[in-house]
Amino acid sequence: MRIIHGLGRAIFGGFFLYNGINHLRNAEALEGYAAAKQVDNPHLSVKGSGILLTAAGAAIALGIAPRLGALGVIGFLAAASAKMHDFWNLEDPGQKQGEMIHFSKNMALLGAAIALAGQTSRERED
């Protein structure tokens, strides 16, 4: 089970690590999107979320502090999902569908992060 758990943690954490690095490398493009969604201080928000996602993803993927990393992911997803993927405010069916998909994906990832954060060391060994 440890191998399976480690593989899942690497994939899950790697997703956030990659996205954090992407936030930092492509900050200018993401800042424009954040500004369009009326995010306060888009530059700082994109940079800050990039740092958070990179650190949280690395903590999970490398198993350094997976519960702490999961808490970082929870904070990011809880704060960003409704603001960035507010499908309920859109009229265009295509845009609405796209944002609903992203929001739903984020809720599934949020559920996984909550499960990881609540997991005890004994549960990981079983």
Say how far apart CA 104 and CA 122 lie, in whole Å. 30
Predicted pLDDT at 2: 84
For residues 31 and 43, is the Cβ–Cβ distance under 8 A?
Answer: yes
125 vs 96: which has the higher pLDDT: 96
Domain count, the chain: 1
Q: Which residue has the tokens 């569908």?
A: 97
Predicted pLDDT at 112: 96
Q: Kindly state the average pLDDT of the residues 36-53.
A: 95
Predicted pLDDT at 121: 63
CA distances from 106 to 49, 64, 76, 80, 111 (A): 15, 23, 10, 9, 9
Question: What percentage of the chain reaches a pLDDT higher than 90?
Answer: 91
For residues 41 and 85, is the Cβ–Cβ distance under 8 A?
Answer: no
Mean pLDDT of the chain: 93
Domain that holds residue 20: 2-125
